[in-house]
Amino acid sequence: MDRAKDSAGDRSEAARPRAAGAGSDFLQLSLGDAPPGGITEWLARRLRGAIADGRLPVGSRLPATRVLAAELRVSRGVVTEAYQRLSEDGHVAGHGRNGTVVVAAPVGVAERADGPREEGGGPLFTATPGPEAFDTLRTAPARIDLSPGAPDLAAFPRAAWLRAERAVLADMPATSLRYGDPRGAPELRRAVAHWLARNRGIGCEPADVLITSGVAQGIGLLADALRREGVTAMAFEEPGSLGVRQHLVAGGFATPPVRVDEQGVRVDDLLACGAAAVLLTPAHQFPTGVVLGGERRRALMRWAADGGLIVEDDYDAEHRYGRPPAPALRAMLGEGVCYAGSVSKLLAPAMRIGWLIAPTRYREPLVTAKRFADLGNAALPQLVLARLMESGTLERHLRVLRTRHRRRRDVMINAVRAHLPGAVVHGAAAGLHLMVTFGEDAPWDDRALAEAALALGVKAHPLSWHRQLPGAPGLVLGYASSGTAEIAEGVGLVGKALATLR
C-alpha cells in the first residue's frame, strides 16, 4: 500500500466513530491515543519506540496484522502499512509463517508516542568507557554482532554434554552434593592438569590447580592477594583488553601501559615503569595477535628472576591456524608466572569455569579468598567438564571449531579487503578476532565509526577502547560466533558506515 492510499485509509478510519475500549493488551495500545487521520503513523511510532527502549527486543514477534487490526478495530491495511514502515527502516522483517520479527533497533534515540527522546545521555562509544560499557553493548539491539570474545556458540556440544551429565549423575554418590573443596572438584583439577600438560606444555599437579569462575575471578582473587602485600600497580599491555583492565582498576590497581610491538611486550617499558607485576597475553596478544618473541621471553625470565610476577592470561591459545603453537610462559618460567585459563573460548563464556596456577607463596591465600568468595564452583558442571576433558571430547570439539573459525576468518579478511580500502589486518594466524587499523592520519575517530556501524545494525569494538595511549584508529572484529554470510554483510555495513565519515 503506498502512502497516498494509506492517507486515504487513515481518513476513512478517522471518519468512523471510535469504539469504546478499542485497544490491545499488546503494548497497551489504545486507539483513543491516536490522532484523527494519523493512525498508521501513530502505530508505527509506538512500535518503533517499543523496539528502541527494549520492550520489543531483537527476536520478538509482532502480532499478526489481522489480530492487531481486530483488537484496535481498524482496517488490516493500517497495521500492514505500519509494519511496512518498520521493515523499510530495517527494524523488522517478515519471516513467512513465523510472522514479523524484530531484527534491529534505533540506537541512541528512542521514539515514544509523544516524540523522540535521548537515551543514556549520549553515544555508547565514549572516550572513557565506564564499567557498564560491555553490558550496554551486549544488550544494544543489532542484527549482526562482530564483537570479539566468543567462539562459535552454535557449535556447543550439547549432545556430548548431556551424555556426560547423565553419566555423571548416574555415578555420583549423594555425598557429592554436599559443599565441596573450595579449590574445585578433584576430578576437574586432575583433568585440567592433564589438559595443560597435553596442550600447553605445563607440568603441574592437581593440587596446584585452583578452579575459578572464569579468568575474571582468578585475576580478582590474585589482585586481592597482591594488594595485601602492598602491590598497587600491575603493568598492562598497550593496547590491551579493556575488560581485564577494568577488573584491575576496580580492584584498586594502577595499570601503567607497556607498549606492544611486532615481538610482543616491550620489556624496556616494563623496566621503566617500575611495576612489580605485569599482566600479559603472550601466546596471542589481545588485540594485536602478536606472539611474544624469544628474546622478549628471555628478558622476562631475567625480570621475573629479580622478583617480578607475570600474570599470564592464556585466553585463546588453542585457536591457531597454520602457525606452530606458542608455548605458555608458565611452562618456561615456572614460579615466576601465575597462569590463568578457562573454557570461555573453548565452549562458551556462560560456563564460567576457569583455573589458576599460582606461585607456591600465593596458593593458600588464594584458596582462602576463594572459600570466602563463594565456597567453590558448582560441582555438577565441574564433573561434566572433567569427563569431557578426560574422554577426548573437548579435543575433538576444538578440531571442529578450528575448521569453522578458519573459514570465517578467511571470509572476514576478504570482506575487509573489499569494503575497507586501506585497512591493515593484524593477528590473522590465530584466535577468534582480527584487529583492523586505518592509519594515524585518518580524519575520523574509531569510536565514531563503531557508533555509525551500530546505527546500521553491526556491533564491533573501537580499538581505542583497548588503549590507554593515543594510537591509530581501528576496530576489533570477532568472527568466530557469526556465520559467513553475516560476517560478509557486517563488514560491508562497516564499510558503509566508514563512507559516511570520510
C-alpha distance from residue 77 to each of 65, 101, 198, 251 (Å): 8, 18, 65, 58
Model confidence pLDDT, tens digit, residues 281-313: 999 999 999 999 999 999 999 999 999 999 999
Task: Using the predicted structure, report yes or no on whether residue 99 has a pLDDT greater than 90.
Answer: no
First to last CA, the chain: 37
How far apart (Å, rounded) are the C-alpha atoms in residues 110 and 16?
31
The pair phi, psi for residue 25, each rounded to 5°, is -65, -25
- The DSSP H or E segment spanning 299 is helix 294-305
Dihedral of CA 455/460/466/472: which sign? Answer: negative
Residue 76: what residue type? Answer: R
pLDDT above 70 as % of the chain: 92
Task: Using the predicted structure, report yes or no on whether residue 404 has a pLDDT greater than 70.
Answer: yes
Largest CA distance in the chain: 87
State whether 486 and 345 are in the same domain. Answer: no
Task: Using the predicted structure, report yes or no on whether residue 7 has a pLDDT greater than 60.
Answer: no
Task: Using the predicted structure, report yes or no on whether residue 15 has a pLDDT greater than 60.
Answer: no
Helix (H, G, I), strand (E, B), or coil: what is residue 41? Answer: helix
pLDDT for the residue numbered 122: 52
Whether 466 and 287 have beta carbons less than 8 Å apart is answered as: yes
Most confident of 58-67, 94-103, 246-255: 246-255
Find the mean pLDDT for residues 448-471.
95
Asked if the structure places residue 55 within a domain, the reply is: yes
How many alpha carbons fall within 13 Å on the CB side of residue 350?
4
Residue 422 cell numbers, joined? 586501506
Task: Using the predicted structure, report yes or no on whether residue 19 has a pLDDT greater than 70.
Answer: no
Residue 462 cell numbers, joined? 573501537
Among 136-140, 220-224, 285-289, 348-352, the least confident range: 136-140
How far apart (Å, rounded) are the C-alpha atoms in residues 87 and 440?
38
Q: How confident is the model at residue 27 (pLDDT cuts 50, 70, 90)?
A: confident
Give the domain-ending residue among 335, 362, 391.
Answer: 391
Find the mean pLDDT for residues 252-263.
97
CATH number of the structural domain spanning residue 89: 1.10.10.10
Q: Which residues pair with 338 in a beta bridge?
A: 311
State whether 284 and 411 are in the same domain. Answer: no
Residue 287 cell numbers, joined? 588485540
pLDDT for the residue numbered 105: 66
CB within 8 Å of 410: residues ≥ 6 apart: none
How far apart (Å, rounded) are the C-alpha atoms in residues 462 and 435?
10
With 0.85 as the threshold, say if the pTM is over it: no
pLDDT for the residue numbered 16: 53
CB within 8 Å of 39: residues ≥ 6 apart: 10, 13, 14, 31, 74, 78
State whether 381 and 411 are in the same domain. Answer: no
Number of structural domains found in the chain: 3
State whether 413 and 376 are in the same domain. Answer: no
**Average pLDDT of the chain, as a whole number:** 90
Asked if the structure places residue 119 within a domain, the reply is: no
Asked if the structure places residue 117 within a domain, the reply is: no
How far apart (Å, rounded) are the C-alpha atoms in residues 405 and 483?
10
Model confidence pLDDT, tens digit, residues 163-179: 999 999 999 999 999 99
How far apart (Å, rounded) are the C-alpha atoms in residues 474 and 482?
20
Dihedral of CA 353/357/363/366: which sign? Answer: negative
Asked if the structure places residue 323 within a domain, the reply is: yes
Q: How confident is the model at residue 337 (pLDDT cuts 50, 70, 90)?
A: very high
State whether 226 and 137 are in the same domain. Answer: no
CATH number of the structural domain spanning residue 401: 3.90.1150.10
State whether 245 and 352 are in the same domain. Answer: yes
State whether 213 and 341 are in the same domain. Answer: yes
The DSSP letter of residue 63 is: P
State whether 241 and 345 are in the same domain. Answer: yes
Asked if the structure places residue 343 within a domain, the reply is: yes
Task: Using the predicted structure, report yes or no on whether residue 229 has a pLDDT greater than 60.
Answer: yes
pLDDT for the residue numbered 109: 39
State whether 323 and 238 are in the same domain. Answer: yes
Asked if the structure places residue 22 within a domain, the reply is: yes
CATH number of the structural domain spanning residue 305: 3.40.640.10
Give the domain-ending residue among 391, 418, 444.
Answer: 391
Whether 223 and 248 have beta carbons less than 8 Å apart is answered as: yes
Whether 462 and 230 have beta carbons less than 8 Å apart is answered as: no
Q: Degrees (nearest 5) of the Cα angle 212, 351, 233?
A: 40
What is the DSSP secondary-structure string of 271-291? HHHT-SEEEE--SS-TTT-PP
Dihedral of CA 475/408/158/60: which sign? Answer: positive
The pair phi, psi for residue 181, each rounded to 5°, is -70, 125
With 0-12 / 13-18 / 19 or more C-beta atoms within 10 angstroms meaning exposed / middle / buried, residue 308 is middle
Asked if the structure places residue 265 within a domain, the reply is: yes
CB within 8 Å of 167: residues ≥ 6 apart: 387
State whether 180 and 309 are in the same domain. Answer: yes
Q: How confident is the model at residue 52 (pLDDT cuts 50, 70, 90)?
A: confident
Task: Using the predicted structure, report yes or no on whether residue 131 has a pLDDT greater than 70.
Answer: yes
How far apart (Å, rounded) are the C-alpha atoms in residues 317 and 346?
10
Give the domain-ending residue among 391, 426, 457.
Answer: 391
Helix (H, G, I), strand (E, B), or coil: what is residue 241? Answer: coil
Asked if the structure places residue 158 within a domain, the reply is: no
Residue 211 cell numbers, joined? 578452579
Task: Using the predicted structure, report yes or no on whether residue 113 has a pLDDT greater than 50.
Answer: no
Find the mean pLDDT for residues 77-102.
86
pLDDT for the residue numbered 10: 54
Q: Which domain holds residue 286?
A: 173-391
**Which is nearest to 483 in space by CA: 402, 430, 407, 432?**
407
What is the DSSP secondary-structure string of 157-176? -HHHHHHHHHHHHHH--GGG
pLDDT for the residue numbered 117: 33
State whether 387 and 414 are in the same domain. Answer: no
State whether 306 and 227 are in the same domain. Answer: yes
Model confidence pLDDT, tens digit, residues 210-223: 999 999 999 999 99
